[in-house]
Structures are given as C-alpha cells and as structure tokens.
Amino acid sequence: MTGTARPRLILGSASPRRLELLAQIGIRPDAIRPADIDETPLRGETARDYVRRMATEKAAAVPLSEGEAVLCADTTVSVGRRILGKPEDEDEARAFMRLMSGRRHRVLTAVALRHGGVTRERLVETQVRMRPLDARALDRYIAAGDWQGKAGGYAIQGAAAEFIPWIQGSFTAVVGLPLSETAALLGAVGIIGEPR
C-alpha cells in the first residue's frame, strides 16, 4: 500500500486472549471497541454460517472514523449440527463437556476486517478430539470455573488442555484468532506486525 497511511487498528473484542495472540505477531491495536450484538443462532443456521455472521455483524456494529479498520472474530464449537456457545451455568457446561467426551468436535473461528467500506472475512475450521472424561476429572474441571465465558465450555490453552490429545488445524484459531489468516487480512490493508 504505497503512499497510503496505515489505518488505525481497532480491535472489536474485549477478549484478552485475542489481544495476546495479536501481540505474538507484533500487532498492537490502537484502540479496543467491543461490539455489542445479539449472538443468538438463527433457527436452522449451520455452525459455519453462524460464526461467519457473528464476525461480520460484530465488524459492522463497531463505529469507525476515517482512517480506521476494525478487526472482529467469533469462535464457536459444534458437535454434529449442534452449536455449543458459552455455557450459562455449571449444568450446561457439564452437559457440553459430556457431549464432547471421547469424540471429535469442530471449532470454527471466523475473522472479519472492515476498512474503507469493505469487509473481508476468513473462516478457519479445526477438528479437536477430547479424551473420555471420568466423573472425577469433570467435577474437578467444573469446580475450577475455567469453563465460564468460553465457547463449548473450555479453552484449549487453559485447564481443559489435559483433555485434548489431538487437533487437526489451527491451534490459534481454537484459542480464538487464527494468526496466519488474520495477518494476511491485516497485511492487505497495510497493517503489519512490528518486530518485538
């Protein structure tokens, strides 16, 4: 982008994990403006369509000034056609973990970047296998509270790491922001990481 000023980067998320992930590739947002939208899945909506819609709706909801670009993302977990959002309570977290226990599930993360009236979006799908969970391990996990505020009721980089023996795809997408795809989107508008 020769001759064009680098846009100010706005992160449309309050997630400390996304901020940490951006720092890994040398990118520090100029401001944080979390998007506030209704995150209820539509009737019959697939997990792929849902996560894409969430990321682009978040990007559309963040107010921008001239010379700004907003980066938003959304992560969801799906087992079959069922979308597992953030559990509302311990019972739902326990139900989600039991559903994933001993089987594979998909983690879908969509990233959207809005700049200059154009929204670019990428979707990354990762397969994750969770080992079978016994009652004691599940009770210990639920009591620790690490399930709160996490899609599917777990974070791969947190206490649930002991339950995940295998993934196929992007680890950073499971954490909440696929770094390779995000760097490409940002680079397309002239935002590149600074050496640390």
Cα 196 to the center of its chain, rounded Å = 24
DSSP 36-75: ----PPPTT--HHHHHHHHHHHHHHHS---TTEEEEEEEE
Both tokens of 95, joined, read: 């139900």
DSSP 68-99: EEEEEEEEEEEETTEEE---SSHHHHHHHHHH
What CA–CA distance (Å, rounded) separates 119 from 112? 6
What type of residue is 123?
A: L
Report the chain's terminal Cα–Cα distance, integer Å.
23
Q: Rounded CA gap, 160 and 174, in Å?
A: 12
Active site residues: 74
Q: Which two tokens stand for residue 172?
A: 């950073």
Q: Where is 67: in which H helix or E strand?
A: none
